[in-house]
Amino acid sequence: MAGRSNAGIWRITGGAGAEIDQHSHLCHSIAVTLFRLTLQAGESIFDQLVYAAKKAFLSGEFQPGQAFPSVRTLAAEFKIHPNTAHKVIQHLTQERWLEVRPGIGTVVAEIPEARPGDKKRLLHQQVEQLVVEARRLELEMDDVVEAIEEQWSKFQKPQEVNRR
């Protein structure tokens, strides 16, 4: 990797409090985005990286067509086994978040449309986990709904203003 750039540094707090920094690196004349991840105990490295990547895709930090780090780069950056890095990229590719372009490498794809069952799975599994934890913490439903609305608004795309 030829030079690190501090332009474009950002911080994301992800699942289980994972923090990520983004740095642009130049690799084979292609700017590649890397993550800095503070691993959190109790959640797998794989899950934390997949979650952080999806969050970056949805928030617009990664743009369609942008180069995604290679297995070797991810493994070196996070000091993880190359098999784990490969598993992350393979999973994101199978879920259509990434695509492999011959002669170019792995790039960010357009945000994939939901598959049948994705919504049902989310609404059942994830919401159930949220409710269980909220009940454990003795939160009120209004507090949970307010927190969901706050997070939801962070991912809203800015609407264009009609100027005449």
* Closest C-alpha among 57, 126, 66 to residue 97: 57
Give the pLDDT of residue 67: 92
Give the pLDDT of residue 12: 32
- Whole-model pTM: value is 0.65
Give the pLDDT of residue 34: 62
- List of domains in the chain: 2-108 (1.10.10.10), 118-154 (no CATH)
The per-residue pLDDT string of the chain (164 residues; one tens digit each, 9 = 90 and over) reads: 333 333 333 333 333 343 444 444 444 444 455 665 677 888 899 999 998 899 888 888 888 999 999 999 889 888 889 999 999 999 999 999 999 999 889 999 999 988 888 888 878 888 898 999 999 999 999 999 999 999 888 877 654 444 44
SS (H, E, C) the chain: CEEEECCCCCEEECHHHCEEEEEEEEECCEEEEEEEEECCCCCCHHHHHHHHHHHHHHHCCCCCCCECCCHHHHHHHHCCCHHHHHHHHHHHHHCCCEEEECCCEEEECCCCCCCCCHHHHHHHHHHHHHHHHHHHCCCCHHHHHHHHHHHHHHCCCCCCCCCC
C-alpha to C-alpha distance for 113 and 41, rounded to whole angstroms: 32
Give the pLDDT of residue 10: 31
